[in-house]
Structure 1
Amino acid sequence: MTPDFLITPTAISPRATLLLAHGAGAPMDSEYTNCLAEALAVRGIQVLRFEFPYMAARREVGGKRPPNPMPVLQDSFREHYRAAPQPLYIGGKSMGGRVASLLADELQPAGLICFGYPFHPPGKPEKTRTAHLAELQTRGLILQGTRDPFGKPDEVAGYGLSEQLQVSWLDTGDHDLKPLKSSGLTQADLIDQAAERAAAFMLG
């Protein structure tokens, strides 16, 4: 069966395509990912979204389900990657970005983009998820809020990340890019900033 995609088309001829995976707790059409996909689309980036098996099952029968084991998530990502038009950038929100990053060198996409990478579980900085990022050969970009409890600037500065990987910080943003009220910015503003940087990475 051919995998299904939620496609956010561009108003102009697509200049690049991004396969975007959702995070652990929200579906592919969450408010965050809808806003991000639209912000990318206006910049000529076609966004293809899909759901991992546990989230697709939750949509069909209701109720909350935990994420599938990592091998299942990776197989699902591989399946959708192979069904998508090439060339292709890959990435995702939080857990979705982690899955993409684990597969990047295997799949050899045009590039990798992670929105809010889960460098470690909140409150557990010793449990890092960075070993594979030190050896990454794929050109990549991580867009991270400076207040993200999954990895803040002082923590990330101490990681030995690959030279192929850039980390771009969004001021006062949390894991969902919600800023402090004192910043005068909104979540939509920071998502738009993230989309601008992501588009520049893909089109530069």
Structure 2
Amino acid sequence: MSQDLLEIAGIAHLPESTPAGVVLLAHGAGGDRDSPMLQRLCQEWSRRGYLAIRYNLPFRRRRPKGPPSGSGTGDRDGITEAIGYVRGLADGPLIVGGHSYGGRQTSMVVAAGGVAVDLLTLFSYPLHPPGKPERTRTEHLPTIGVPTVFTHGGSDSFGTGAEIRAAAALIPAPHEVVEIPGARHDLASKTLDVPTLAVDAALRLLG
């Protein structure tokens, strides 16, 4: 069962009983809250007893198509507001993250230290532009103080498995990399259940 959260342009997937915690996931630069991967992730989290929410970032609320523009400050403000909003919806751990751009911006919000969350879950983290490995987006990673899961495709042009593991090692908190062999940036896999693997890793780090 799902429910609209108009305040954050979100859709909540409700568990069958009292939520064990809350999961808040943002989309990538070319997508929106209805991306197939976000839907499957939220379904899996709700199956595990969590209130799982996928929502549109501010740039996507302004226009239905097209990439974000500018520095991302407005989107980070929207992420901060969304975290504050969902915190009051249920007790238990608060898990935040997202796919590609949405995950990166969320990780920057967490690194800035203005929000209290329990775990960061990043899907297809855009470590560098395709073909430009020298332009890594890692400056903020050493200031992330919460457990972090990277779920990454083995054929993702935004970062190799080795590059992602090196980036994850910059985080001083517990971290894990879930590599999906053969998967590209969309994390589609014909052989592996990506949402199950990602949720398993997150729950391991939560202890």
Q: Given the superposition, is the C-alpha separation of residues 41 and 200 from structure 1 closer, same or farther in structure 2, using an over 3 Å criterion?
A: farther
What code does the residue aligned with 2:87 have?
A: P
- Using the alignment, how far apart are the partners of 1:103 and 1:43 within structure 2? 26
Question: Which structure 1 segments of 5+ residues have no match?
Answer: none
1:22-43 deviation line (CA, Å, top 9, x unaligned): 1111110121211111122111
1:194 deviates by: 2.1
1:107 deviates by: 1.0
Q: Given the superposition, is the C-alpha separation of residues 171 and 45 from structure 1 closer, same or farther in structure 2, using an over 3 Å criterion?
A: farther
Task: Return the match for 2:154 from 146, 151, 155.
Answer: 146
Residue 190 (str. 1) matches residue 200 (str. 2): no
Question: Which structure 2 segments of 5+ residues have no match?
Answer: 1-5
8 A contact 2:21–2:50 mirrored in 1: yes
1:11 deviates by: 2.0
1:72 deviates by: 0.8
Name the TM-score, length of structure 2 as normaliser. Answer: 0.83
Give the count of matched residue pairs.
Answer: 193
Task: Show the 5 A alignment for 1:1-204.
Answer: 2-59=7-64, 64-69=65-70, 70-86=72-88, 87-104=93-110, 105-159=113-167, 161-164=170-173, 165-179=175-189, 185=191, 189-202=193-206, 204=207
Q: Given the superposition, is the C-alpha separation of residues 26 and 124 from structure 1 closer, same or farther in structure 2, using an over 3 Å criterion?
A: same
Name the TM-score, length of structure 1 as normaliser. Answer: 0.84
1:70-127 deviation line (CA, Å, top 9, x unaligned): 1111111111111112552211111111011101132121121111111111111111
What code does the residue aligned with 1:173 have?
A: A
Q: Given the superposition, is the C-alpha separation of residues 40 and 200 from structure 1 closer, same or farther in structure 2, using an over 3 Å criterion?
A: farther
Q: Percent identity?
A: 32
Give the 3-state SS of the residue equivalent to 1:131 in structure 2. Answer: coil
Give the 3-state SS of the residue equivalent to 1:84 in structure 2. Answer: helix
- Using the alignment, how far apart are the partners of 1:68 and 1:50 within structure 2? 18
